[in-house]
A = this chain, B = another copy of it.
C-alpha cells in the first residue's frame, strides 16, 4: 500500500499522461487531438500539481519541457532522504495539421541531472546524443531503445532535437524532429540551470534553513570551532 502511495505521489510531480496537453489549448495558439487508447485510465488523481511546460510549436512537431521534482522518503528521526532524483521531462508530439498536434503519439524522454549538465554546457557548434533503454538490466534489455540527438543547424541559428524510438516488440520505429532556435535554446539553458539544483534535491537543503531553528544556537559563541567538519568521522 505504501508503495502504491509512493507511486502516486511520484507521479503527481511529473506524470504527464493527463497533463494540460491532453485536453487543452495553449493560449489559443495550438490544439491537439489524442489518438491514444489509454487516456482516462487514471482513476485516482493526485492533487497539488503545477503544469507549466515551456513548449515550442513547429511545423512538423512540438517539443515541451518541464522539470520533474525528486521524491523524498521520511527517515527517522524526522529526516528526509532523496528517494528518486528528479529530471527534466521532454515531450515530443508530431503535428497532424496546422498547429494541431497528436498527444496520443507523444514520445517522452526524461533527462537525468547529468544529461541536463551535458545540455547546458553545449557550445554553439557542439552535438550531444543520449541513449535510454527502459528495460535495462531486465531480460528485455535492448528491445526498446530511445535516443535523443541534439545537433547544431548548418547556419548556426540553432539546433535540431531528434528523438528516435525503436521498439522491436511492436516493430515500430518513430522519429520526431523539432528545430530549436538559439533563443529557444537559451531559454532551455537558463531554465534547466535553474531547475538542476531542484531536481538534485538541493532546493530542500536550502529552504530547510528558513523554516526551522536548525543551525542556530541560542547564545553567542564562546569559543572558536577548531574542528573542521571534514575531520569529524
Interface residues of A (CB under 8 A from B): 2-3, 5-6, 9-15, 17, 20, 24-25, 27-28, 36, 38, 45-52, 54, 66-85, 87, 89, 108-110, 113-118, 120-121, 132, 134, 138, 146, 181-187, 190-191, 193-198, 200-212, 214-226, 228-233
Q: Is the CB of B54 within 8 A of A200?
A: yes
A47 vs B3: C-alpha distance when bound (angstroms)? 24
7 contacts between A and B (CB under 8 A): A46-B77, A48-B214, A71-B216, A73-B219, A84-B225, A89-B229, A110-B229
One complex includes copies of this chain to the number of 4
B residues less than 8 Å from A187 (CB atoms): 113-114, 116-117, 196, 200
The answer to whether B217 touches A67 (Cβ under 8 A) is no
Do B15 and A232 touch across chains, with their CB atoms under 8 A apart?
yes
Q: With A9-B216, A202-B191, A230-B110 as given contacts, are A223 and B184 in contact (CB-CB < 8 Å)?
A: no
Knowing A69-B205, A69-B206, A228-B110, the reply to whether A212 touches B48 (Cβ < 8 A) is yes
How distant is A17 from chain B, measured CB to nearest CB, in Å? 6
